[in-house]
Amino acid sequence: PYLVVATKMDLGAAVLNWESQRGLFAQRGIQIIAISALSGRGLEELARAVDTLLGREGRKLDACLR
């Protein structure tokens, strides 16, 4: 399985790039998550996606995100 992480979503150019590319990944069945460490956007979604890919869905992650 693949998981693509688009970073720096607090920058305008990154957002434009992500918007133009996300459909290409979706067509191939590849999950893409947009994140911004600066604002925190998408970090919980990323953590949950990684947890799911590793087969640990819902274990300790919920406690960490509280």
C-alpha 20/C-alpha 22 separation (Å) is: 6
Alpha-helical (H) ranges within the chain are 12-27, 43-53, 61-64
pLDDT confidence of residue 60: 63
Q: Are 51 and 44 in contact (CB under 8 A)?
A: no
Contact indicator for 21, 27 with CB cutoff of 8 Å = no
pTM tops 0.85, yes or no: no
pLDDT in tens, 5-45: 999 999 989 888 888 888 999 999 999 999 999 999 999 99
Cα distance between residue 6 and residue 54, in whole Å: 20
The per-residue pLDDT for 51 is 85
